[in-house]
Amino acid sequence: MTTEHGVSTEKESSTTPEKPKVPFTIGQLGMWVFISTEIMLFAGIIAVYLVLRLTTLQAGWPTRTDMHVHTETGITMTIFLVFSAVCAWQSWIACSESRPRAARLWLLVTILLGCVFLGIKFNEYYDKYKVGLLPIPGENQIHELADYQYLSHVNQRLRIMILEMESRDPETLDENDKQRMDLLYSLKANMTEATAKNAGRTISPFDANLYLNLMAYQVYPHVDTGKDVDKVYLPERQVLTRELGTLNERLSLVEKREQLIVQQLSNLESQIERFNLLGGGTEETAKIDLKKQWLDTKKQQQQDLAIEARQLQASISPLKGREENLSASFDTEGKFQGINERYDVRLPVVIPNGQAWISIYLLLTGMHALHLIVGLIALACWLPQKLVARKSPAFYVTCMYWQFVDAMWLTIFWFIYL
């Protein structure tokens, strides 16, 4: 029986086919399936981006300058992420060769480079938030056109910021707060209200639109808008210069006349006071009575001149404020900066198709940042473990995910930063 059983076992084993070894583990297969689904997700988002960009050629697609995108920043982030992918691969090689210390060192460098990448990305987000490109909760920060709705939105934002500053205890306001409040008052009076006045008194809708574009360009300098604002900016500067020159000349003459009358009043009052102290004859009394009449006339002239001077100053003040507003915006040395970038007030901006661009940008880079954070957490979970050869297949799955995150960024970099 033993022999027969042995023979039968031998025959059975000889007829059973050997199962072929699969070249990958179940974990690796699962990661490939996951990466495939993520590739389809990002491909869909990029397809939407391409459709929007190709269908808005006539209206114009925002440039990198418009959207505050710097190619140098993108290149820097790409370098950090590519090096992190190389370090992750080196860490897996060291793990497969049972060199745990080297594997942990490469893994730590990978995590640090990924954190640096995230730091640069979040700083880029803040940079866009500071110039008014990222949405404020409940508000649409980017407008397609510089119209009266945009003017109303900017004026509302300034009014809200002014009310917030005025609601604070005056004793808690430092010098910087007082300067900021003066800036907000100036922007409201000399930019939004002056723009509304200029746009409202012109007959041509085209000229009114140019005044609105001029204000939008002051807030955030859109490249295409800058080609047209000179049509109203330069003439307005010339008119302001001419009117201010005329009013200042009249004010100077009024002030000189007022000073002359003050001197005459001083002389008349001293003569009358002297007569009252020393007395005099009938002839001198008649002269003093005449001088008293002159005194009353001169006082009335002084009052009239003081009123005229105040009226001239009231006329000069808004013109001077508007002129200073335009000078501060356009007469700066070097590259022109908008009000948002210079003063960090985050007013609404005008960029045609900018809302679509920023939505795709936040979707792509935000999804990538989320995947990156998940990858960093997964890599960090391997730090306490001893990375030896038997853990190499499982660690390889994590490194595969990190390589996918790197490849995904290279695609985003191509479409956004180049």
CATH of the domain at 101: 1.20.120.80
Q: Do 216 and 126 lie in a common domain? A: no
- SS3 of 167-227: CCCHHHCCHHHHHHHHHHHHHHHHHHHHHHHHHHHCCCHHHHHHHHHHHHHHHCCCCCHHH
412 falls within a domain: yes
Same domain, 130 and 230: no
Pair of tokens at residue 8: 């039968």
197 inside domain: yes
- 274 and 344 assigned to the same domain: yes
Is 1 part of any domain?
Answer: no
Measured distance CA(399)–CA(108) in Å, rounded: 13
- Say if residues 232 and 241 touch (Cβ distance below 8 Å): no
Q: Give the end of a domain, one of 295, 318, 350.
A: 350
Q: Where in the sequence is the domain holding 371, given as residue range(s)? A: 24-139+352-417
Judge if pTM exceeds 0.85: no
12 falls within a domain? no
Model confidence at 62: pLDDT above 50? yes
344: left (phi over 0), alpha (psi -120 to 50) or beta: left
Residue 269 pLDDT > 70: yes
Token pair 């900066």 is found at: 337
407: three-class secondary structure by DSSP: helix
The answer on 393 and 320 residing in a single domain is: no
Q: Are residues 312 and 166 in the same domain?
A: yes
Q: How far is CA 347 from the centre of its chain?
A: 8
Q: How many CB atoms lie within 10 A of CB 51?
A: 10
Nearest to 352 by CA among 21, 6, 67, 31: 67
Cβ 389 vs Cβ 96: under 8 Å? yes
In a domain? residue 189: yes
Residue with more model confidence, 130 or 333: 130
Do the domain assignments include residue 11? no
- C-alpha 292/C-alpha 268 separation (Å) is 8
Per-residue confidence band for 8, with pLDDT thresholds at 50, 70 and 90: very low
Let me know whether 246 and 312 are in one domain. Answer: yes
> Distance between CA 355 and CA 157 in Å, rounded?
19
Residue 227 pLDDT = 66
User: Is 264 among the domain residues?
Assistant: yes
CA angle in degrees (0–180, nearest 5) for 49-53-58: 160
What's the pLDDT tens digit per position in 370-414?
Answer: 999 999 999 999 999 999 999 999 999 999 999 999 999 999 999
Residue 65: pLDDT band with limits 50, 70, 90: confident
Residue 134 has pLDDT above 90, yes or no: no
Q: Please tell me the least confidently modeled range out of 145-154, 196-205, 269-278.
A: 269-278
What is the pLDDT confidence band of residue 37, given thresholds at 50, 70 and 90?
A: very high
The reply to whether 245 and 310 lie within a common domain is yes
> Do 87 and 108 contact (CB within 8 A), yes or no?
no
At position 336, the amino acid (one-letter code) is F
- Among 75-84, 287-296, 316-325, the minimum mean pLDDT is found in 287-296
346 and 364 co-located in one domain: no
Locate all alpha helices (DSSP H) within 331-391, ordered by sequence: 339-343, 354-380
pLDDT value of residue 17: 53
Question: Are 205 and 341 members of one domain?
Answer: yes
Note the pLDDT of residue 331.
Answer: 63
Tell whether 118 is covered by a domain: yes
Q: How confident is the model at residue 157 (pLDDT cuts 50, 70, 90)?
A: very high
Same domain, 154 and 211: yes
Q: What is the pLDDT of residues 288-300, one digit of tens each?
A: 777 778 888 888 8
Domain-terminating residue out of 350, 377, 397: 350
Q: Note whether 400 and 301 are same-domain residues.
A: no
Residue where a domain terminates, one of 331, 350, 369:
350
The DSSP bridge pattern shows strands 142-143 and 349-350 to be parallel
Contact 309, 251 (CB under 8 A): yes
With 0-12 / 13-18 / 19 or more C-beta atoms within 10 angstroms meaning exposed / middle / buried, residue 166 is exposed
Residue 241 CA to residue 105 CA, distance in Å, equals: 68
Total domains in the chain come to 2
Residue 7: pLDDT over 70:
no
Residue 142 main-chain phi, psi, to 5 deg: -105, 125
**Sequence-distant (≥ 6) Cβ neighbours of residue 113 within 8 angstroms:** 80, 81, 83, 84, 87
168 shares its domain with 276: yes
Q: Which residues contact 53 (CB under 8 A, 6 or more apart)?
A: 61
In 3-state terms, what secondary structure has residue 260? helix
